[in-house]
């Protein structure tokens, strides 16, 4: 299982660099973080960063792929105001541009994205959970089908995104996700435990006491 950071802040990426395998961004994250995507990708290189193309998807995708060596181009399955991007995904994939097909919410969308040539398929489980759908079953179905599709030369991986809690993260891992992308706030909760903190504090305090005893002997 790979772990991606859902952020575009350089300091957050540096904080988690020992454990992350890449990062995912989108225009909403970039706007919130006030980040420069080129600066962020340069710092992350050679680890992959998902960068979202908008508007003229093909032109933006080609430009990002040309300018950023470690960019994975995010293309949504659906266009904002009708229609889909399956043909665009196929065309870009045939140009050897790595595509992360994003904003997917069920198995059928994941299958179509993978068939079109997406290198990554991003399933948004937080919003699936909001609808009362069993997101763990959705992850398991998508992983199983993508793994079966490998036998027919489809090389997609499932990214589980929109993770909002430690519970959702652990569920995604247990369900066999290829990649889970997690915001810094959840990573902070993953690393912390009150008993771990209390135990190392005890060790530190006892160590200092031992040194005082040795020093006074």
Q: Write out the catalytic residue numbers.
A: 74
The end-to-end CA distance of the chain, in Å, is: 52
Strand residue runs (E) in the chain: 2-6, 22-24, 49-52, 71-76, 99-104, 120-124, 157-161, 179-182
Within 47-106, residue ranges assigned H as helices are 57-67, 86-94
Sign of CA dihedral 156, 161, 112, 136: positive
Q: What is the DSSP letter of 78?
A: B
Let me know: does 24 contact 49? Beta carbons within 8 Å. yes
């Amino acid at each position: 299982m790979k772990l991606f950071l859902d952020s575009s802040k350089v300091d957050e990426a540096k904080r988690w660099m020992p454990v992350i395998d890449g990062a995912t961004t989108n225009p909403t994250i970039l706007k919130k973080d006030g980040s420069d995507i080129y600066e962020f990708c340069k710092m992350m290189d050679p680890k992959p960063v998902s960068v979202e193309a908008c508007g003229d998807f093909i032109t933006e995708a080609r430009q990002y792929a040309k300018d950023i060596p470690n960019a994975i181009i995010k293309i949504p399955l659906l266009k904002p105001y009708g229609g889909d991007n399956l043909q665009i995904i196929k065309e870009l994939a045939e140009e050897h541009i790595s595509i992360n097909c994003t904003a997917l919410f069920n198995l059928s969308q994941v299958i179509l994205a993978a068939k079109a040539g997406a290198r990554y398929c991003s399933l948004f489980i937080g919003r699936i959970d909001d609808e009362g759908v069993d997101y763990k079953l959705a992850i398991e179905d998508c992983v199983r089908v993508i793994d079966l599709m490998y036998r027919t030369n489809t090389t997609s991986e499932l990214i589980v995104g929109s993770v909002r809690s430690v519970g959702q993260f652990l569920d995604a891992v247990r369900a066999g996700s290829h990649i889970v992308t997690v915001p810094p706030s959840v990573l902070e909760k993953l690393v912390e435990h009150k008993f771990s903190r209390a135990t190392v504090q005890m060790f530190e305090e006892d160590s200092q006491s031992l040194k005082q005893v040795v020093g006074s002997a």
